[in-house]
Structure 1
Amino acid sequence: MIPAIEEKETQTLATLISEYVAYNEWANKRLVDWLASKPAALMTLELPSSFPGMKGTLVHIWDCQRFWLAVLRHTTIPASFRQGFDGTLDDVLTGIIEQSEEFTRYVASLTDAELQEEVLFTTPWIDGIQPRMHFIMHCMNHSTYHRGQIITMGHTIGLTDAPMSDYSFYRLIG
């Protein structure tokens, strides 16, 4: 016999996108907690990937989330870490969590209409107009992609105990 399904709150675009951004924050926190439990020297090992090492990849995630949040808010784009980042590992771990929390708060404040609002963007790569929700999903997907790279880099150096961070797992326990 199948248990009765509880009546749940109706999902709207705003609740769905907000939940996905909260998932990104949760997954980033799990990754950061895992990495913080490992020897710091491993974070700066040069490993083959999109960016040199786990710290460099974390900096990239943080940098991109900062960039896209500024685009979404129509605020000045922060100076990119591409010009160099001389902060510590703790700076990166703290920064990515604080930025993820800021992104979550911002998206939670948006209505369905604001999520669908067209946003003009200018980047070094491409210019255009898209609904705000598309930028949000792009940024969250981008962070997920690079979290996977970090876990793969960890595997190459023997760190095989990465925490589960799949969206469905978050939905079940989050």
Structure 2
Amino acid sequence: MQQVTSLSPMTSLMQNYANYNLWANDRLVNWLRTKPEEVVQREVPSSFPSIQKTLWHIWEAQQYWLSILRKEETAQSYSECNGSLEDTYSGILAQSKELADFVGAMSGDDIHNTTLIVSPWFQSDFQNFEYIMHVVTHSTYHRGQITTIGRNLGFTDAPMTDYNFYNVMGKQERN
């Protein structure tokens, strides 16, 4: 059933997309919690050398982009993955919720306003919805890497985290 909303289509889409990111990260983490810790932390050839380190990267990238959306000072360096695996799981989920809550509270104007970024790597002055799309797409990319790393480690039961699956089935799970 289609929900009727007074939000602009773009605002509604961005809020849905941020909620999807939280849902997908939650499904992934809950799946990984069923796996042996030493396997989740095992180093393998990949852009980030373990599942835990890939999760850590997603978490830090989401923190960075949330600080951009909040127009806060951003840390421009990434830290070494430290802490327990459970700290990583809890941290990425708390941060994903923080991102979803922030996007959920953004007005249509906030979604469409531009934010200037000047960093050592790039400069941009895009509308905020572009940054929201980027952070969720970035997380999705790395969730796919985690699934592939897991497959190479013998995990054959990865959860479905596709956006369409969220829209069809995932929203019902959240209610």
TM-score, with structure 2 as normaliser: 0.91
Report the Cα distance in structure 2 between the residues aligned to 1:50 and 1:95, rounded to whole angstroms. Answer: 21
1:70-102 residue CA offsets vs partner (Å, 9 max, x unmatched): 01101121474x332321111110000000000
Report the Cα distance in structure 2 between the residues aligned to 1:56 and 1:44, rounded to whole angstroms. Answer: 8
Q: Which residue of 2 aligns with 1:94?
A: 90
Report the Cα distance in structure 2 between the residues aligned to 1:92 and 1:7, rounded to whole angstroms. Answer: 36
* 1:66 to partner: Cα distance: 0.2
Task: Please tell me whether the aligned partners of residues 25 and 101 of structure 1 are also in contact (alpha carbons under 8 angstroms).
Answer: yes
- After superposition, the CA RMSD in angstroms is 1.4
1:9 aligns with 2:25: no
1:18 to 15, 19, 38: 15
Change (3 A) 1:172 1:119: same
* 1:7 to partner: Cα distance: 5.7
Q: Which runs of 5+ in 1 are unaligned?
A: 1-5
Q: Secondary structure at the match of 2:47?
A: coil
Q: Given residue 103 of structure 2, which amino acid in structure 1 is its aligned partner?
A: V
1:60 to 49, 57, 60: 57
Moved beyond 6 Å, runs of 4+: none
2:150 to 150, 154, 157: 154
Report the Cα distance in structure 2 between the residues aligned to 1:43 and 1:79, rounded to whole angstroms. Answer: 27
Report the Cα distance in structure 2 between the residues aligned to 1:86 and 1:59, rounded to whole angstroms. Answer: 9
Report the Cα distance in structure 2 between the residues aligned to 1:107 and 1:7, rounded to whole angstroms. Answer: 21
Task: Please tell me whether the aligned partners of residues 17 and 107 of structure 1 are also in contact (alpha carbons under 8 angstroms).
Answer: yes
Task: Please tell me whether the aligned partners of residues 12 and 112 of structure 1 are also in contact (alpha carbons under 8 angstroms).
Answer: no
Report the Cα distance in structure 1 between the residues aligned to 2:34 and 2:109, rounded to whole angstroms. Answer: 42
Matches of residues 7-156 of structure 1 in structure 2 within 5 Å? 8-10=3-5, 12-78=9-75, 80=77, 82-156=78-152
The aligned length equals 168
TM-score, with structure 1 as normaliser: 0.92
1:98-143 residue CA offsets vs partner (Å, 9 max, x unmatched): 0000000000111221111010112231012110100010000000
Q: Secondary structure at the match of 1:41?
A: helix
Q: Given residue 80 of structure 2, which amino acid in structure 1 is its aligned partner?
A: G
Q: Which runs of 5+ in 2 are unaligned?
A: none
Q: Given residue 41 of structure 2, which amino acid in structure 1 is its aligned partner?
A: T
* 1:69 to partner: Cα distance: 0.3
- Greater gyration radius: 1
Q: Given residue 131 of structure 1, which amino acid in structure 2 is its aligned partner?
A: Q
Q: Secondary structure at the match of 1:83?
A: coil
